[in-house]
Each structure stands twice: as structure tokens, then as C-alpha cells.
Amino acid sequence: MQCSHCGHNNRPNAKFCANCRQPLSTPPPVMPPTPPPVTPQAKCVQCGRPIRAGAPFCNYCGAAQRPAPVAPPPAPAVQRPAPVAPPPAPPAPPPPVAVSRSRWPYFVRHGLIVGALTASLIMALAGTFAVEKANPPQPTAPPPIMTPVAGVPTPAPTADYRQAVVAIGVSNDGRFGLSSTTGDPANRSDDGKQLTFDPSGRTNNTRVWIDGDTPLFGEGGLAEAPHQVNGQIRAVWKQDNIEVVQTLSYVNGTSTGRVDTMQIQYALTNKGSRAQQVGLRLMLDTLIGNNDGVPFVVPGRSGITDRSIELLGDNVPDFIQALEVPNLTQPGVIVHLTLQGADATRPDRVVITKWCGEDIPWEYYVLLGGDGQPLERCLTGAPDSSVGLYFDPQALAPGKTRTIITYYGLGGISSTATGNAQVSLTFNQVVRQGDSFWIAALVANPKAGQRITLELPAGLELSNGYTAEQAVTGGGDYTQISWRVLAKTPLTDGAIKVTLNPDSVTESQKITVLPQGITR
């Protein structure tokens, strides 16, 4: 299918051009000789660059778009009935016999009628006033807060959606995306931006493994279209005796404490009479504002991840993070993926790589070149990154359900609050007793000879193989150093501290450890 924007030849039935990422459409029908009116190219209200018609954000500068004024439709012509000729006048009566008579009885009679009607109207109004005074009308409740695409959710059990600073968008086929709405009130750089390339997730996809087949969630039609249930956005799809329920909801972020995160949950149930191998892979087309090729902070890795990597098994961290701008005091928007801890299901595999299609197959990492590839869109070289979360196939007995939970939303680093321009801390600020989790320190403009030391509160211990003091490695605008830590006992507002030497620059951040058995 040829793209009408850049002329690139795409595969049949593609929804987006693999070269310019503009939506594709089927060839237009043959039109009569009269050419249709030309629709002007939509442009960004801030930078003036061309954008998709109706796009809520500019993919170049990230500015929110004001909807164009819509002219009211012309009023329909009023069909008036054809004029009807008046009936012929009756013959004139014979002239009356002249009688000398006064006209006052006519005025008296009609005056009495008008007076009676006026008195009746006054009595009716007085009665209505008396009833309303005795039973005053009840105040009308304010209208509910609307959520784009997802509808009007009611408060979820884990968070009050009315305090959310993000908006979940859902397509008719069940794909979903995320945008920040009011932005981060503590961060002047965040004025509301997209967190996935498309607000409704049309460039994301979920595939389900069923005995070796890997159909897209929603392929062939949904059993239940996206709708609201108890403050959550639910969609149901069935394939080969496997029922998949996708549930999206607003929750408190693990690194911010705000309602700024989307919980993504899949419940896969075997409705058949035999065991089946069932797995799931979620691919997110990551983006922050106009930055489509964001690099990532990956705890356990050296430096910042700006090329393709694959993380397996125990190397999968409890979170990964992306900063819009490499600045510790003004980092723009921060995206945070919670991968394990509390009730999150740790993926068996995580891949960070380039984006090359909204319907990418199950095993796409090797197809895109594997480790070390730049995070750029295929065929174009434009910056473009994505994240794939794999939950390997498992045997699912008849009547049994497998539940998978992960989180995607906004994140935070300590330096946005403290103003520390040299070192910052980031980690999941709410963990559970018994969890093993990562602490990452971000160092701006790293230099040879720098070292950083970690201090932990009582109840937290370094995992085997990690030392409190580490050398700062890596170059560029900033780098990261990480430690693996074990939560031994419950803790409330414990302080984690690092010191960057030889300049003796310190930074700290609080953490809470929930008692074992308590989840988010």
C-alpha cells in the first residue's frame, strides 16, 4: 500500500506508514469529474509544522492543539405550504334596520371575560409559588469529570481518578495509550504531553500466545468492546477457547505518590476442556512529548541505555525509566515502567529497541537486528524507541486463569524537588517486605575519578555482590549507577542517601516498605 504522504510502499493492510508514520487509508473511490474541495493541511498552532488532522498534540514540539472552529451547518430551508386562495366571500346580508342602540354591553361582556382569565392566571402562579416555597428544588449534582476516549470512570479502589494527571485512551479494537493531562504540578517543564506515540494506542499492540499461534488482542473483533466497570476500562476478546480480559485503571505511582500511572491487567482463562499453552507479549511505542527516541535508565546496566538491549530472567529490573531531557533539575516529563514488586508480574523478558510497525510479530527483536541497534525507526533513521514485555507461555488447565499485571505512567527523580544539579536518586518508593529492588543514582556530567557511596536505613540491606561505594562510569550528559537492595523489615519514610565524591555532594530520598502480604 503506497503512502499518500511520502510515497513509500507499505505492506497490505498497514495502518501507519513505516517511513513517515502517517496513517494509511484505502484508495479513494472513483469520483465524478468535478474535483472535491481541497482540505488545507493541518499545522501546529505553535511551530507551524504539518501534523495529522485532529491530532491533540504536535509530534514535533509537543504543543497541545486548539480545535479549529466549526462553522454551524446552514439552517434547512423551511418548506412552506403553497398559498391557498381564500374562499369566496358570502353574499352581503341585507342592510339591517336602523336601530338606535348603545355599544357598552359589548365592552362590558368582553371586559368580564378578560378579567376572569387574568384572575385565574394570578391564582395559578400564586399556587405554584407556594408549592415551590414549601418544597424547594434540590441542587443539581455537578457533571462527572470526563476522561478522553475511556469515558467517565468512577473512583477505582486504589486511587481517586478525579486526581489523575494522566488520561487513558482506548481504540475500538482494544489498543490503548496514555497522555499526561494537567502535567506534573511540581515540574514546570510538564505542561501535558503524550506518553505513547498515539494517545489511543494505535501504534501499540498486545499479542497472545495460544499453543504456538500469536494473534493480536482484538483480532477478528472483541467479545466486549471497551467499556467501564467499577471505575476500570474493560475489554474482552476470545480466541481458541481462551478468554482474555484486558482491564485498565488509574493508580498511584510507585515513585511519585500521585495518581499518574495506568495499571495494565490481563486475565487469561481457559474455557476449553484441555490444557493449553498460553502467554502474552505487550509492545509499547514509547514517546515523551515530541521525543520519540527516548533513552532509558535501566538499573543494573552501566550508563544510560540508548541502544537495543534484551533483559532476561533475574536481569529484569523492578523498573525502567526515561527522561525527556538530560537535565536533573528540569528533566521534562519522566516515564516510569514498574515491572515487579507489590502486585506487578515480573516479565520473563524485556526488550528495548526501535519501533518498526504497529502489528510487529511476536519475535521482532532479532528481526530488527538484536543488541546494539540504534533506537531509530526502520527505513528512516528518525529517533524512535519501543519497549516489549514478554510473559512466556505456560500450561493453563481447563477453567484456570492466569493474571498478568504491569504499570506504565509518570515517574520522578529526587532532584526535581531538591534542585540538586549534580546527583539524583530514583527507585520505587513503595516496595513490600521481602522484595529485592533497585536503587539508581543519576550523575550529571560524570568525570573520571568520581565515586558515589550509598547509605541505607535500618531494615534495608545490600544484596550479595554489591558494595556501598562504586566508581562513576560512563560519559555524556548524565550516567547512572545502581545497587540491588533487599527489604528485610517494614519501614515508613526511611531515608536513602548517596554522597558524590570528591565534591561531597549529597542527595536523599524516602522509601516505604509495606508489611509482607500487603499490596498496593
Give all domains of the chain, ordered by start, each with its CATH number. Answer: 161-412 (2.70.98), 430-520 (2.60.40.10)
**Segments of the chain scoring below 50 in pLDDT:** 28-39, 67-108, 110, 131, 137-157, 183-190, 520
Instruction: Convert 124-145 to b/e letters by CB count within 10 Å (16 or more is b).
Output: eeeeeeeeeeeeeeeeeeeeee
Q: Which of these, 336, 340, 393, 317, lies nearest to 362 by C-alpha position?
A: 393
Instruction: Work out the burial of residue 461: count CB atoms within 10 Å of its CB; fewer than 13 is exposed, 13-18 middle, 19 or more buried.
Output: middle
Sequence-ordered strand ranges (E) for 349-448: 349-354, 385-396, 401-410, 423-426, 430-432, 436-444
pLDDT tens digits along 21-50? 677 765 544 444 444 444 456 677 777 766
Question: What's the pLDDT score for residue 228?
Answer: 86
Q: Confirm if 407 and 344 have CB atoms less than 8 A apart.
A: yes
Neighbour order of strands in the sheet with 205-210:
205-210, 276-284, 385-396, 349-354, 309-312
Beta bridge partners of 305: 296
Neighbours of 295 (CB within 10 A): 21
User: To which residue does cell 498496593 refer?
Assistant: 520
Question: What's the pLDDT score for residue 303?
Answer: 85
Q: Confirm if 336 and 255 have CB atoms less than 8 A apart.
A: yes
3-state secondary structure of 115: helix
Sequence-distant (≥ 6) Cβ neighbours of residue 452 within 8 angstroms: 423, 441, 443, 469, 470, 472, 481, 498, 499, 500, 501
Question: What's the pLDDT score for residue 441?
Answer: 95
Q: Which cell numbers in the block locate residue 515?
A: 508489611
- In a 13 Å sphere around the CA of 105, the CA atoms on its Cβ side amount to 2
Q: How far apart are CA 176 and CA 246, in angstroms?
A: 10
Beta bridge partners of 134: none
Sequence-distant (≥ 6) Cβ neighbours of residue 519 within 8 angstroms: 342, 343, 432
Instruction: Convert 216-231 to b/e letters by CB count within 10 Å (16 or more is b).
Output: bbbeeebeeebeeeeb
Q: How far is CA 414 from CA 338, 441, 454, in A?
A: 17, 10, 15
Amino acid identity at 425: L
pLDDT tens digits along 223-246? 999 998 877 899 999 999 999 999
Beta bridge partners of 381: none
Q: What is the DSSP letter of 114?
A: H
Q: How far apart are CA 361 and CA 365, in angstroms?
A: 9
Q: How far apart are CA 72 and CA 196, in angstroms?
A: 34
Question: What's the pLDDT score for residue 150?
Answer: 32
What is the C-alpha end-to-end distance of the chain, expressed in Å?
Answer: 47
Q: Which cell numbers in the block locate residue 141?
A: 449534582
Output the CA angle 353-414-451, nearest 5 degrees. Answer: 80
How is 169-216 classified by DSSP, letter by letter?
A: EE-TTS-EEEEESS--TT-TT-SS-BSBSSTT-TT-EEEEEETTB-PB
Sequence-distant (≥ 6) Cβ neighbours of residue 490 within 8 angstroms: 433, 459, 513, 514, 515
Amino acid identity at 136: P
Beta bridge partners of 319: 338
Q: How far apart are CA 199 and CA 179, in angstroms?
A: 6
Q: Confirm if 342 and 430 have CB atoms less than 8 A apart.
A: yes
Is the bond leading into 502 cis (omega within 30 degrees of zero)? yes
Output the CA angle 300-301-302, nearest 5 degrees. Answer: 125
Q: How far apart are CA 206 and CA 75, in angstroms?
A: 47
3-state secondary structure of 284: strand
Q: Which helix (H) or strand (E) holds 443?
A: strand 436-444
Question: What's the pLDDT score for residue 210?
Answer: 97
Question: What's the pLDDT score for residue 188?
Answer: 43
Q: How far apart are CA 128 and CA 425, in angstroms?
A: 68
Output the CA angle 356-358-360, nearest 5 degrees. Answer: 65
DSSP H stretches of helix in 316-408: none
